[in-house]
Amino acid sequence: MAATEDKKKKSIQEICSLSPGGPPRSSNDRSRQDVELIEQGTFEPTEHFYPRVLNAQIHPLVRSFLSLGNNRIIKRYCHLHPEANPAAVAKVLKASTRYFQWGGADLFSTTTDRGQKRFVVVETNSCPSGQKSMPLANEDASESEQAGYRTLLEKSVMPTLRAGKFNGHPLPQGKLAVLYDKNKMEASGYAATLADLTGEPVYLVPCYAEDLHPKVRCREDGVLEICTPPAVTDEFGKACVSMYSDGQESPVWEPVRAALRYVTQRPWTRLPPLTRTLVFNPVLACLAGGRNKMLAAKAYDIYNAEIAHTGLTIHTPETIWDVAKPEVPLWVGRMGGLAVVKVPYANAGQGVWTITHEKELHAFMSIEHRYDRFIVQALIGNNSWSSVSQSGRLYHVGTIPNLKGNIYAADLRFMIGSSPEGFFPVAIYARRARLPLAEKLDTGTNSWDVLGTNLSFKRLDGSWGTETERLLLMDSKDFNRIGVGVDDLIEAYMQTVLSVTAIDGLACKLINSKGQFGMKLFQSLNPDPKLLAELYPTQLNPPLLPVELPNMVDVCHSSSVQVLIETEEERLARELQQDVIRSQPLLVTVFYLGGNWREGFDAINSADHQICCSQRGRGFTAHQCSSLDRQCYLPID
Ligand SMILES: Nc1ncnc2c1ncn2[C@@H]1O[C@H](COP(=O)(O)OP(=O)(O)O)[C@@H](O)[C@H]1O
Ligand SMILES: [Mg+2]
């Protein structure tokens, strides 16, 4: 039976790899990766976790952190941070994001010259890796073998799938899919788990940037389609391949109602920012900062200003954005000759240059880059060689010294999800650099070996490899080497939640009043012609949320405006005198038309729904803030 199934799977793969009309391609052609159909009951832990992880025992401190829940985390965080406003901390952790629902931050444990320890967010990734490196948290539970795969899907995706609605719009008819361009181990784990949760087969679809015959496309109405074989069911109800009457097998384009996206390399080149299909996460989340370090830096800045009064802050290394290549040496000089230059839209360490001496700067300057804009970031190194930033120097706490007395630079990956009940932790792992953190750096040193913690590397044929020997697990063996405790995990969780919230906030602002991707605002926030030229051209039509702007003249002259915050379902329920349960907090844009920003913000911040404020004519304009479920205009004098 198993052999027959294997054969069936193979034949589906063979057919899918026949791209329409395409000639046969060489064996290392990436477009030969096949579409696969993943059935229920096919989750094999050995295929979705590193072998080391399968044999690992989670460290009791990590298990205890994972069992805390947001209420106890809020209590502990506020106890350790008397400056933080408890209501604001609770609000942040219990909020649900709108677009950026699954993120992972890379964090450094750092210390200042005065020994003040803090976690610093180096970057925030949309669709992050992490599942295959996380030991089982609960070996007794019946679904435990699917671990974080199930937690994330169950809490973040299934509520929307069960409701059949996303952001107030019904999902289209269609199949389920997982799109990927990397990390098939995790992508296939999600597909198998999703098949189990929905009781429906899931297409696992390669989505490579360089695919000459893409397997995914977007219809004008925003529905994604995938290139599948004319797969139907056999007499046993199992998926198989049908033949057309002339004996020709030809692929068909199937609409997709929901897709988990593990597409990490320039995803905006082959998917539009928003789609009618539920995409988890939409590409909008990547453009707003999830795969765009430039906009992420701006999002943190904007959000830090918004939450300044709550005692919460996202800690990041000082970052200079919109830097053109000729300016790079000036900014590196301003940071004391040590800095990190990043291509904002690359990942897996490919677009990052750690600069600690002239030769490294020269190496960066002599390369022809794909894009025109960079960010320059304060370098976090050792105490005698870290960038001088405006807030002083930060340096790596690093790993606990090994038997040779070596300390390594390390980072922590913290993956979280957003659910209707708020955020939750999903997976954590750490990575160390190749070489120990030297006391002094010679001018001949390749500083990447001392600072670079990425495990992935790109082979010459374009495929990816992983240096797992530098991976540090949350298990009883590695955890003590990382040198963090429960309070550190709480700190890292909080920083991750804040950075994801900041990027989600910017994503909301990138939707214009017509409910479409606000290209004008994006262009001005991200003035990089080469990036703009890469964007997938489709605009969602009809738009996601057509909103009618009220007549501004009337509103401006009224002394008060009634703010009615109610969904269509809630209105109906009210009329029928039924109870309604609001599954997600409503997002309300409030434009206040007078007074100052801070007063306006504070006045409306006390409401128990999420609000995005904007002051017309000052700083923000209406279309930057109008992505939300309702718009209200509130004159504040
Ligand atoms: N400010 C910094 N100081 C020191 N090292 C850094 C800094 N920023 C990044 N790095 C190193 O470069 C790696 C890659 O940077 P990151 O911003 O996470 O980009 P990527 O998307 O390529 O992973 C990090 O894992 C870290 O090892
Ligand atoms: Mg990274």
Ligand 1 atom nearest 349 alpha carbon:
22
Give the residue, by CA position, lying nearest to ligand 1 atom 12.
Answer: 452
Task: For residues 220 and 352, state if they share a domain.
Answer: no
Residue 334 clears pLDDT 80, i.e. is over it: yes
- Verify that 205 and 112 share a domain, yes or no: no
Q: Do 194 and 248 have their domain in common?
A: yes
User: Of the residues 253, 280, 307, which one is the last residue of a structural domain?
Assistant: 280
Task: Provide the token pair at 147.
Answer: 């671990």
| Mean of the per-residue pLDDT values of the chain | 79
pLDDT per position as a tens digit, 487-501:
999 999 999 999 999
pLDDT tens-digit map of 50-59 = 999 998 999 9
Q: Is 454 a pocket residue for ligand 1 (Cβ < 6 Å)?
A: yes
Which has more pLDDT, 238 or 393? 393
Do 20 and 111 reside in the same domain of the chain?
no
CA 107 to ligand 2 centroid distance, Å: 9
Q: Which two tokens stand for residue 148?
A: 């974080």
Residue 585: inside a domain, yes or no? yes
201-215, 298-312, 415-429, 607-621: least confidently modelled range:
607-621
Report the atom number in ligand 1 closest to the C-alpha of 452: 27
Most ligand 1 atoms within 8 A of CB, residue of 183, 286, 340, 360 to mutate? 340
Measured by CA distance, the residue closest to atom 10 of ligand 1 is 452
Q: Is residue 543 part of a domain?
A: no
Q: Identify the pLDDT of residue 144.
A: 75
Beta bridge partners of 105: 124, 414
Give 377 or 4, the one with higher predicted confidence. 377
The residue-averaged pLDDT of 441-446 equals 78
Q: Tell me, yes or no, whether 311 and 198 share the same domain.
A: no
Question: 480 and 372, same structural domain?
Answer: yes
User: How does DSSP assign 411-464, residue by residue?
Assistant: EEEEEEEEETTEEEEEEEEEEE-SS---SS--TT--HHHHH----EEE-TTS-E
Render pLDDT for 194-207 as a digit per residue (tens, 0 to 9): 999 999 999 999 99
Q: What is the pTM of this model?
A: 0.80
Confidence band (pLDDT; 50, 70, 90) for 378? very high
Q: Is the pLDDT of residue 355 over 70?
A: yes
pLDDT: which is higher, 37 or 228: 37
Identify whether the C-beta of residue 532 lies closer than 8 Å to the C-beta of residue 609.
no
The last residue of one of the domains, among 437, 472, 504, is: 504
How buried is 51 (Cβ within 10 angstroms: 0-12 exposed, 13-18 middle, 19+ buried)?
exposed
> Which tops the pLDDT comparison, 609 or 140?
140
* Burial of residue 166, with CB atoms counted within 10 A of its CB: 0-12 exposed, 13-18 middle, 19 or more buried: buried
Q: What is the mean pLDDT of residues 140-146?
A: 70
Residue 408 has pLDDT above 70, yes or no: yes
pLDDT exceeds 50 at position 564: no
Structure tokens at 595: 């007074």
> Ligand 1: does its nearest atom lie under 6 Å from the Cβ of 380?
yes
**To test the ligand 1 pocket, which listed residue (123, 300, 319, 321) has its Cβ within 8 A of the most ligand atoms?**
123
**Are residues 180 and 143 both part of a single domain?**
yes
Q: Is residue 531 part of a domain?
A: no
One domain for residues 307 and 244: no
| Tokens found for residue 611 | 């609000």
- Residue 452 Cβ < 6 Å to ligand 1: yes
pLDDT score for 370: 84
Q: How confident is the model at residue 541 (pLDDT cuts 50, 70, 90)?
A: low
Mutating to test ligand 1, I would choose from 106, 122, 347, 435 the residue with most ligand atoms within 8 A of its C-beta, which is 122
| pLDDT band at residue 414 under the 50/70/90 scheme | very high
Model confidence band, residue 29 (pLDDT cutoffs 50, 70, 90): very low
453 Cβ closer than 6 Å to some ligand 1 atom: yes
CB contact set of 67 (below 8 Å; sequence gap of 6+): none
Mean pLDDT confidence for 360-375: 90
Give the pLDDT mean for 108-136.
93
162 in a domain, yes or no? Answer: yes
Sign of CA dihedral 400, 402, 403, 405: negative
Same domain, 341 and 206: no
Among the bound ligands, name the one nearest to the CA of residue 349: 1
From 538, 99, 534, select the one nearest 344 (Cα to Cα).
Answer: 534
Quote the percentage of the chain above a pLDDT of 70. 75
The amino acid that residue 70 corresponds to is N
294-303 pLDDT, tens per residue? 999 999 999 9
Instruction: Please indicate, yes or no, if residue 35 is contained in any of the structural domains.
Output: yes
**Pairwise pLDDT comparison (124 vs 484), residue with the higher score:** 124
d(CA 630, ligand 1 centre) in Å: 39
One domain for residues 240 and 343 = no
379 lines ligand 1 (CB under 6 A): yes
Report how far apart, in Å, the C-alpha atoms of 113 and of each of 69, 318, 385, 492 are: 34, 16, 12, 21
Give the ligand whose atoms come closest to the C-alpha of residue 457: 1
- Cβ(377) to ligand 1 under 6 A? yes
CA nearest to 462, candidates 147, 22, 32, 21: 32
Mean pLDDT of 411-424: 95
In a domain, 59, yes or no: no
The rounded Å distance from CA 552 to ligand 2 centre is: 45
Domain boundary among 447, 469, 504: 504
Please tell me the least confidently modeled range out of 168-177, 217-226, 556-565: 556-565
The number of folded domains in the chain is: 3
Count CB-CB contacts under 10 A for residue 382.
19
**Which two three-digit tokens encode residue 359?**
């030769």
227 located within any domain: yes
Dihedral over Cα of 341, 343, 347, 351: its sign:
negative
Who has greater pLDDT, 209 or 417? 417
DSSP SS3 for 569: helix
Task: Give a yes or no: residue 54 inside a domain.
Answer: no
Q: Which ligand is nearest to the CA of 350?
A: 1
Question: Is residue 167 located within the same domain as residue 109?
Answer: no
Range of the domain at 488: 68-127+290-504
**Is 122 close to ligand 1, i.e. is its CB under 6 Å away?**
yes
pLDDT at 249: 57
454 and 577 share one domain:
no
Model pLDDT, residue 491:
97
Alpha carbon separation from 595 to 444, 553, 590, 591, 615 (Å, rounded): 58, 17, 13, 11, 9
* For range 567-588, the mean pLDDT: 56
Q: What's the average model confidence in pLDDT over 604-627?
A: 35
Q: Is the dihedral of CA 253, 258, 263, 264 positive or negative?
A: positive
